[in-house]
Structure 1
Amino acid sequence: MAGFITLWNQDGEAVFISKTAEDILGYPISEMLGTNWSDWVSAADISHVKNNIDYIQTIKQTIHLNVRNASGKNIWTENQVAGIEDTNGKLYYISATKDITDKKDAEELMIRSEKMSVAGQLAAGVAHEIRNPLTSIKGFLQLLQAGVNREDEYYKIMVDEIEKMETITSELLFISKPMTDHKDKENLREMIDDVVTLLIPQARLKNIEVLYNQQSDQVVTCDRSQIKQVFINLLKNAIEAMEEPGCITVNNYPENNQVYIDILDEGPGITDEVLNEMGEPFFTTKQNGTGLGLMITRQILERHEGSLEIMRNETHGSTFRVILPNL
């Protein structure tokens, strides 16, 4: 994988570029020296670098940037960037850059193939999940046409079936909608506070207390609305899993270069069989569930270079752990 080294001064001007940059970018070194790093990248990438510049001064960062070469072609680069000082205390930034265009192209091809496979699975699942309530509604309408005198009961069942179809279609629209990449530095405590406040009324209806233990004030780079959707999905699942009054605990704490957010419930727990199936489209243990919530949650976290872990608690209940990169 081809690469080159660049040294930038505090004003962002290139003061040294290794010879191999000519092979990758196509420009002579003489033309690149003295240029500003912002001349090389897109407006979106400029914003991304500026959001991380304070952290680069103290901690080495890996940044993926789209750079246009001399032929006008965009190439993907992986940049290991760190701040260094000379003997006079003057700050510079050193960047080790690799051309990862081939790797990115291969990843995108794989993602497209996976999307086609998932689309096929979803289409089959949608047909099955919507056919069932439609069959039920058709049957009750036929009974009503035949003069069966139980209108109120049948109307309620039909409304429930229609609401289930609405839930399936709205969640499918969320999945199919292209996700934005409008990430910014966000206060994790504020996001979790918002979600807890939103769902406390639902928890109180079941005599469930929600406790949020904040061990540190973390800042994460994320799309605020998407990560809040993750917490909404998981906290709603925890509330719905608890059949008896009890407590749900939310903890967040740093771990190495990551931040953990644990949501612990006091529900009946999860069997090995269910644990292996969770996250599959349309698999659900809830009467009115669709099985798409966890799929959406994992999809969002993958877009944020995060992950979801699901564990059984030692005594009873389950823990859903969200892992996000820590700034």
Structure 2
Amino acid sequence: MNSYVGRLVVPTLFSALQLPYIVWLYAESRKVPVVGIFYLAIIAVVAWLLGAVYDKKQRTIELLKDSEGRYRIISKSSKELLNSFNEVIFKTDEKGKWQYLNPAWKMMSGRTVNESLGLHFSKEIDKTSYHRILKAFANSFREGKRYFRVDIKMNNRNNEGSWVEAFVKLVYDDGGEFIGTAGILSEINERKHAEEKLVSLNEHLAITSSKLSAAAQLAAGIAHEVRNPMTSILGFVKLIKDGSENKQEYYDIIFSEINRIEQILNELLLLSKPSKTEFSEKNLIGICNHVLTLLETNAVLNNIQIHKNFDEDPILIYCDENQIKQVLINLIKNAIESMANGGNIFVNIQEKDHEVSIGILDEGEGIPEHSIQKIGEPFFTTKSSGTGLGLSVCFKIIENHGGKVFITSERAKGTKIVCVFPTCKTNEKKEVPFKIMNKFSENKI
């Protein structure tokens, strides 16, 4: 009924206003003129139409009021919902400046929403995460994707890093123009810590596995190496038993051979024995000599000669001796395995500008160009029976010692790996070695 109020009220009001005029006409002429009736009919129609317009306007106003009420309810509910999230809801413009952040932002970043609005998002994250986001943006634009996920590390006000998973949606206008982003930031510190523990455990298992594998592969060479001194010892013991002269000289030879056997066995046990990481000042030349002694027989059995090109003067580095030995054993063992038909391995050591470089050059098959960039990645290997963990472990050890790795290779000519470590002086105070910020290696061909 309310829908017809105007169409009922306006004509009724018109009729009430025109009634005296009709009565007067009738009183004067005892009849109503045709023209007057026609005029009154037109006025009645106009009144009806005006009432209809009024009704329509009233319905529009009621709808607007209803929509406004619903909008206020939805707006209030949406605001309460956004404010109740523990995750950060955000929106940025096309330049990457924050346009909207919900209250959870303060808990995540340590800054209020008003402090961050209008600032570029890069001010809240570390440099590595910033480049990771730029790469994800580039990939999304290139592949035509409208969203992407990426793990980033945010720096809060106390400079404490917090790991966050960002779900980012690219926003475009009706014309296809990029106008900004919207998305969600979720804290994933527990997940990241669990992943780091898992990675650490995998690295420990990989190091142990690599040690046992190296020990097993060296068994044949060590058996041969031990057999020769034992033959000499048995021969001289027999001479002494038969009463030969020059017993003191025989004793010296016997003890020399026993010491050699002991040295070889100690090196083998060192490989298979799990040990705690302990950094101390060590002589790199002595470490290299021990490793080369251990691998020399294995190389000879494969028709390979190892050539040393370094002085015997001590070069001191701050390291874990067992881990450095493991690195050198793996690198030289890989060089041996790359030369199925024999050849030469050259080991060079040079010290310059508080750094020492160890170069291992082989005459093997070389590394394909498409594979050299992947060298050191976990589970990547060019061997048919390899695990892909050996070099990954080696490069991680080098990185933890503040070192760098450079790889050059040429097909059918060989591969050269250079490991660079910082040296130390005896009068310097020793600290835990720094970790290099860049990737562990720079690969060149």
- Report the TM range for the smaller structure's normalisation: 0.3 to 0.5
**Higher RCO, 1 vs 2 (CA within 8 Å, ≥6 residues apart):** 1
Larger radius of gyration between Structure 1 and Structure 2: 2
More strand by share: 1
Which of the two has greater helix per residue?
2
